Amino acid sequence: MKAATRRAGEGIAASAGELARLWRATRAQARPDVWPGLMDGLVDELFLRTGEALAAGGDPARVFPSLAGLVRIDPRERDRSRAELDAEWDVAERVLEAACDALAAGEEVRLWLSKAVVVGRAYTRRLDRGGGPRGIVVAWLLSGLAAARRPSRADELP
């Protein structure tokens, strides 16, 4: 493992909270009708474990199976849930690409991260059929994907 790869992983792990905040802000802007995000309960650990695995020279295919967290799925709208999860993975991939830019990470790091995202996306697509890692809890939404909305400032008390 190259020192630059280790440093990039350490940088991603150290910035996991900020990357998760960026993911939430970007996702909310792109998909305002779904709040919170379906992967919202997983994204903090996703960035942390991704960085740690990269820094340790681990297998990118092992990142998602190592996670623990909550993913929401509407069993009545499985196709829409899959589309929303794919859109959320798109945002995660863009956030990781931005981290690579900020860290001046090379092509080796970008390929590693891309593989981790591809595997995570594939696992998430199977969650509605009962597949997935032991640490992933699936919460079945009964109110519909668009029923939850983010409180507006007008809803907040002064």
Tokens 């400032």, residue located: 153
By mean pLDDT, which of 39-53, 79-93, 102-116, 124-138 is the weakest?
A: 124-138
Instruction: Please give the span between the terminal C-alpha atoms of the chain, in angstroms, as a whole number.
Output: 53
pLDDT of residue 145: 61
pLDDT of residue 144: 62
Pairwise pLDDT comparison (156 vs 47), residue with the higher score? 47
For residues 35 and 150, the answer to whether their CB atoms sit within 8 Å is yes
Chosen CATH of 3-142 out of 3.90.700, 1.10.10, 3.30.70, 1.10.490? 1.10.490
Residue 136's pLDDT band, with cuts at 50, 70 and 90, is: very high
CA distance linking residue 134 with residue 136, whole number of Å: 6
Arithmetic mean of pLDDT over the chain:
89
List pLDDT tens digits, range 59-81. 999 999 999 999 999 988 999 99
Pairwise pLDDT comparison (15 vs 32), residue with the higher score? 15
pLDDT of residue 42: 96
pLDDT of residue 151: 46
List pLDDT tens digits, range 104-132. 999 999 999 999 999 999 999 999 888 78
Query: Residue 96 corresponds to which amino acid?
Result: L
CA distance linking residue 67 with residue 48, whole number of Å: 10
Helix crossing, 16-30 with 3-14: angle to 10°? 70
Structure tokens at 151: 């409180």
Pairwise pLDDT comparison (76 vs 18), residue with the higher score? 18
CA distance linking residue 110 with residue 93, whole number of Å: 10
List pLDDT tens digits, range 91-110. 999 999 999 999 999 999 99
Q: Is the pLDDT of residue 149 over 50?
A: no
Q: What percent of the chain is modeled with pLDDT above 70?
A: 89
Pairwise pLDDT comparison (99 vs 147), residue with the higher score? 99
Residue ranges of the domains in the chain?
3-142
